[in-house]
Structure 1
Amino acid sequence: MSHLFSNYNKLPFEIVEGQGAYVKDQQGKEYLDLTSGIGVVNLGYGHPEVQQALLAQAEKLWHMPNLYESQLQETVAAQLVQQIPHTSEYAVYFCNSGAEANEAALKLARKATGRSQIISFQQSFHGRTFGAMSATGQAAIQDGFGPLVPGFTYLTYNDEAALAQALSADTAAVILELIQGEGGVIPAEKEWVQAVAAHCKENGTLLIIDEIQTGMGRTGTFYAFEQYDIEPDMFTLAKGLGNGIPVGALVGKAALKSAFGPGSHGSTFGGNKLAMAAAAVVCQQIAVPSLQDNVQARSAQLLAGLKDLPTVQAVRGSGLMIGLVLKDADTLQQVMQQLREAHVLALKAGTQVLRLLPPLTITEEETAAGIAILRSILG
């Protein structure tokens, strides 16, 4: 008997080690991992600089509460802000996960504006804590946990008219993903995002961009919002920020700092020494132009190699966040099982999308190997 809750559908094998884009199970079977641990291990498994930073910090100090200054936090915050193509000043709050980052953003939005309504979108996913879950536009995530946090409105994604009608003098914030990951790898239209930003500015509403899956180089730029020519009031990060070490961050305009004064919000482990040591290396590595060049090259290679498959209705996404929409939704689990049998790990998104989130460091040869197996199963 397992002493764990059964809230995960676990596969009957354990991953025990990894290097680069490959992982091994407890029996020594090797898999090409096209999931990056659900978009987390962006620099690949066993990254030497990240490991070295963690070991060096572990020999000094693992943890210290936020009662004292932290040069590591200042370093990572500066790295994150330096990557923003901005005219405004930004500040950073550190936590432990994407859900916590979104919770902080939602709290800050209400406190800073004095308003209560939060607009989100159908098929969105923002986390499983009460605020983040209430912002998530998927009934399946919310079922059984009611009543939810009040004040949330869910609109149709990529629909400007619906947003313009829903905005009011009580709208504190609009929160959106630039690619709805869990919802099916659905990209936001650039014109729509720019219209959302304009409507928010005109209405005095804060724009929150959830970059938890799209950020940290995943879509071919350090932040996905760079490709949309917008300046969000806040954006949230996690997943790839620590390359597997739990860490999240809320990045917001410095004008919002007064609403998050001493005692207003906090986290015991937020900005943990080990997490910051890892994040500092991750930020440095993802900022290297050759890494983003590789993301864009491997993305083009995947898109070219996966076109014209008879069982695939559409291929969508950006960078190394790609969704294959299967014509027959009933085959999704079967396809994933066949991939595992062929020693490839992939993910699902929604009900009929095969989701690929390979490490940003994946090579041309590894990508070609993955394409060959995908074509053999989906062709």
Structure 2
Amino acid sequence: MSQEWAQRYGGALMNTFGPPQRVLVRGEGPYVWDADGRRYLDLLGGIAVNALGHAHPAVVAAVTEQLGTLGHVSNFFATPAQITLAEKLLGIVTPGGAPDGSRVFLANSGTEANEAAFKMARRHGGPDRPRVLALAGAFHGRTMGALALTHKAAYREPFAPLPGGVEFVPFGDVAALEAAMGDDVAALFLEPIQGEAGVRPLPAGYLTRARELTTAAGALLVLDEIQSGMGRTGTWMAHHLPWGEGVVPDVVTLAKGLGAGFPIGATVALGEHAATLLGPGQHGTTFGGNPLAAAAALAVIGVLEDGLLEHVTAVGTWLKEKLGGLGHAGVGEVRGEGLLLAVDLADPVAKEVCAALLDAGFIVNPVREDALRLAPPLILTQEQAQTFVDALPTALAVVGAEGRR
């Protein structure tokens, strides 16, 4: 059955992702089933999207109820769900509440959220501030503006020339950031934890210095929390963790887990700049902020508010310690926060290990040649995670990954 679907996939869809590893037909909680009836523990969560797992009753109920009243309206009109969601986001993006004047733009995805932030940077900078800074290893999306902020050459080069003015600063290097910053910089884009680069948290103190430098230069500090936000690290935002040192950015972008599988993105502008960064006619979206997406996001927030953040911290801490304590020569550093983790491997065999784990019933991601990424549903239990801890040494043995480096 799966083979038949895979053949049909190859004959109908563009080859942007390569052949599908499996054809999935249903999910429940942290598990999914393929077309042949095999069950898998989903430890990737749609790349940090399925925050509440699959078919969560709160999301199903919210979307079903909303669809029974309004599914879509144009942006000539507003809906209670849209307004309520924006208010909720302003209340959680900054501890203690957003500064006066803060505003939200609702979109459909992470790349759209970053496109809006890029346009805000251009509006803020004008002709006198043509430079925008981002970090080596950054991933901010695939559309042209977001792609200009994305560091990986293989993603960028086929589509050059990209929107200009973007410069990349070495990751975590404060001295390099100090040297690059100036009064001709419109904005600095940062991921508090770089997901696609291998789950790399910014070093302690970096965000604080970035805030000081951008404030002094009159530049915007934009934090991309698309993968790391919405409870993924056990806090609402990764920059709320202690090493964020209470930094308040100018713009925060969100998506992925915000809708727990329903497409949605958000660009949250904080404080004095918010009202002037984008005005009527300067940006827009047909589907952004539609009542279905807003209802899904409100359901997600409601579940997170009901003790799930504490659960993420507890299970994430336990899992990180268990994986780090395996004592296997093929396993190196275990890195990350909450339920956004990377397991470094002693050999560049991540793809082979992921394939062996998939055969054993576990979905993980080879985020680098020598690292596995885990971004499971936030409802994952310790007992479910233990089955992966038990399976990893066997998968390493299957591919002969015994720490040859």
TM, length-normalised to structure 1: 0.97
8 Å CA contact 1:101–1:237 kept in 2: the answer is yes
Aligned to 1:38: 47
Matched, 1:352 2:370: yes
Matched, 1:258 2:276: yes
8 Å CA contact 2:351–2:369 kept in 1: the answer is no
8 Å CA contact 2:90–2:98 kept in 1: the answer is no
Aligned to 1:218: 232
Q: 2:310 aligns to what SS in structure 1?
A: helix
Could you tell me how far 1:116 is from its partner in structure 2?
A: 2.1
Task: Render the CA deviation track for 1:262-292: whole Å, top value 9, x for unaligned.
Answer: 111110111011101101111121122x211
Task: Render the CA deviation track for 1:334-379: whole Å, top value 9, x for unaligned.
Answer: 1001101110000121332100011110112111112111233237
Aligned to 1:147: 161
Match among 27, 36, 40 for residue 27 of structure 1? 36
Could you tell me how far 1:144 is from its partner in structure 2?
A: 1.1
Amino acid at match of 1:137: H
Matched, 1:88 2:132: no
Match among 118, 124, 139 for residue 106 of structure 1? 118
Could you tell me how far 1:254 is from its partner in structure 2?
A: 4.1
Aligned to 1:313: 332
Task: Render the CA deviation track for 1:199-228: whole Å, top value 9, x for unaligned.
Answer: 111111100000000001001101111111
Q: 2:54 aligns to what SS in structure 1?
A: coil
Structure 2 counterparts to residues 324-343 of structure 1, below 5 A? 324-329=343-348, 331-343=349-361
Task: Render the CA deviation track for 1:231-272: whole Å, top value 9, x for unaligned.
Answer: 010010000011101000000114221231111111011101
Amino acid at match of 1:364: Q
8 Å CA contact 1:312–1:325 kept in 2: the answer is yes
- Partners of 1:266 and 1:56 lie apart in 2 by 27
- Partners of 2:98 and 2:277 lie apart in 1 by 21
Q: 1:190 aligns to what SS in structure 2?
A: coil
Distance change (3 Å), C-alpha of 1:265 and 1:87:
closer
Structure 2 counterparts to residues 182-331 of structure 1, below 5 A? 182-227=196-241, 228=244, 229-255=246-272, 256-288=274-306, 290-307=307-324, 308-329=327-348, 331=349
- Partners of 2:130 and 2:285 lie apart in 1 by 23
Amino acid at match of 2:43: L
- Partners of 1:375 and 1:350 lie apart in 2 by 19
Q: 2:205 aligns to what SS in structure 1?
A: helix
Q: 1:283 aligns to what SS in structure 2?
A: helix
8 Å CA contact 1:215–1:224 kept in 2: the answer is yes
8 Å CA contact 2:31–2:41 kept in 1: the answer is yes
Could you tell me how far 1:12 is from its partner in structure 2?
A: 4.2
- Partners of 1:62 and 1:265 lie apart in 2 by 22
- Partners of 2:323 and 2:223 lie apart in 1 by 29
Q: Which moved more, 1:44-53 or 1:300-309?
A: 300-309
Q: 1:306 aligns to what SS in structure 2?
A: helix
How many residues align structurally? 377
Amino acid at match of 2:121: A
Task: Render the CA deviation track for 1:283-309: whole Å, top value 9, x for unaligned.
Answer: 121122x21111111112211211233
- Partners of 1:196 and 1:313 lie apart in 2 by 30
- Partners of 1:60 and 1:9 lie apart in 2 by 39
Amino acid at match of 2:110: G
Amino acid at match of 2:333: A
Matched, 1:124 2:135: no
Could you tell me how far 1:112 is from its partner in structure 2?
A: 2.2
- Partners of 2:168 and 2:203 lie apart in 1 by 18
Task: Render the CA deviation track for 1:61-111: whole Å, top value 9, x for unaligned.
Answer: 211011012221111111111112156232110000000000000101110
Amino acid at match of 1:262: P
Provide structure 1 residue ranges, at least 5 long, that are not aligned to the other structure: none
Match among 34, 50, 63 for residue 54 of structure 1? 63
- Partners of 2:365 and 2:231 lie apart in 1 by 19
8 Å CA contact 1:310–1:378 kept in 2: the answer is no
Could you tell me how far 1:24 is from its partner in structure 2?
A: 0.3
8 Å CA contact 1:222–1:287 kept in 2: the answer is no
Amino acid at match of 1:328: D
TM, length-normalised to structure 2: 0.91
Q: Aligned-residue CA RMSD in angstroms?
A: 1.3
Segments ≥4 residues shifted beyond 4 Å: none
Aligned to 1:161: 175
Amino acid at match of 2:225: E
- Partners of 2:185 and 2:321 lie apart in 1 by 42
